[in-house]
Amino acid sequence: MAEPPREHALDEMVEPVVPSRFRWLARLLDAGPGARIVDLGCGTGAAFDAILSSLADPSAGSVIGLDSSVEALRTTGRGLAPWPATARLLIQADLNAPLPVADAAADRVLCHNVLECLPDQDALLREAHRVLRPGGKLLLSHSDFDALVFACEPGDLALTRRLVHAYCDTQQAWMDAVDGTVGRRLVEIVGRSPLVVETVDAAVVLSRRFQPGELGYGYAHNLVSALTDAGAADPAELERWLAGLRRMDERGAFLFSVNDYAVVCRRPWRRHRRPRAPCTSRPGSRQNPGPR
Ligand SMILES: C[S@@+](CC[C@H](N)C(=O)[O-])C[C@H]1O[C@@H](n2cnc3c(N)ncnc32)[C@H](O)[C@@H]1O
């Protein structure tokens, strides 16, 4: 019998929520009244919060959240509780496998900060195309982890650069692969799929406090545990780095930022057909070369 998937701590996998980040994504998703929305790797449902609050009548539509983590889905379920039970569906699903969603069942699909950990990114895009109705849209967004900025004490600049690059390339226990620079390649990935790129956007997410619940604090601690688990940095050096960030915060000088990239792409209305062959080109007949 197949092993059930291992549960990982939520704060290892899901970033602290920055509401402005998800309001930006909700605007790009542009889900109209009655939209059927699927969130691939919904985590704790932060995107649903923003999307539903952006709709005039949230109860007219429906949402499906897919994630492999039962704990994440439980948290999402609590957030969605005010919605009619018929309009929400949370499914534990592995995004490496065919999605448990019918063909052409969705008006909007979104996927934020999930692609980096999937070994076959193209397969997920093919699945997104399948579940979208013709004309439906996928919002594919991702941070670029090679460009994390931590304002640090002057003596820690080289160390900070080294830690950020090592973090970007480190596969954590909850990931099936690692591709920390995927944010800058979303357009190329969509270009290999049957979807058509409509718009490309970027946003900087800024964090000014080094305190629990803040994005920069979450990333710094995730970096420390990821590099410690991987044996990729000296624990004393990591502790010294965190102490420097705490001092920056005490002086009001702490700053963290991450760049998010977002591609809105559409399932074409019709399949692009090849032009018919001229009727003279029956098997065995000579091809008419046509005008030059
Ligand atoms: C960084 S979090 C992003 C969550 C959410 N999209 C957000 O923006 O807050 C990554 C999520 O992907 C989920 N995930 C990772 N690998 C998965 C897989 N193979 N199948 C389904 N979900 C997966 C994790 O459980 C986690 O909730």
Q: Give every CB contact of residue 189 below 8 A, 6+ residues apart in sequence.
A: 115, 121, 122, 125, 140, 182
Most informative mutation of 49, 68, 215 for ligand 1 (most atoms within 8 A of CB): 68
Strands 132-143 and 106-112: parallel
pLDDT digits (tens, 9 = 90+) for 123-139: 999 999 999 999 999 99
Whole-number Å distance, alpha carbon 279 to ligand 1 midpoint, is: 52
The single-letter DSSP state of residue 86 is: G
The residue ranges of the chain whose pLDDT is under 50 are: 1, 278-292
Count of C-beta atoms within a 10 Å radius of residue 174? 17
Q: What does pTM read for this prediction?
A: 0.90
Q: Give the HSE-up count for residue 172: Cα atoms under 13 Å, Cβ half-sphere.
A: 21
Whole-number Å distance, alpha carbon 39 to ligand 1 midpoint, is: 10
Dist CA 63 CA 52 (whole Å): 9
Dist CA 141 CA 108 (whole Å): 14
Cα distances (angstroms) measured from residue 102 to each of 122, 127, 253: 19, 10, 50
pLDDT at 290: 34
Q: Where are the domains of the chain?
A: 15-144+181-204+260-270, 145-175+209-254
Strand, helix or coil for residue 113? coil
pLDDT at 65: 97
The single-letter DSSP state of residue 145 is: G
Ligand 1 atom closest to the CA of 118, numbered from 1: 19
Assigned CATH class of 15-144+181-204+260-270: alpha beta
Dist CA 142 CA 202 (whole Å): 10
Whole-number Å distance, alpha carbon 41 to ligand 1 midpoint, is: 4
Whole-number Å distance, alpha carbon 165 to ligand 1 midpoint, is: 22
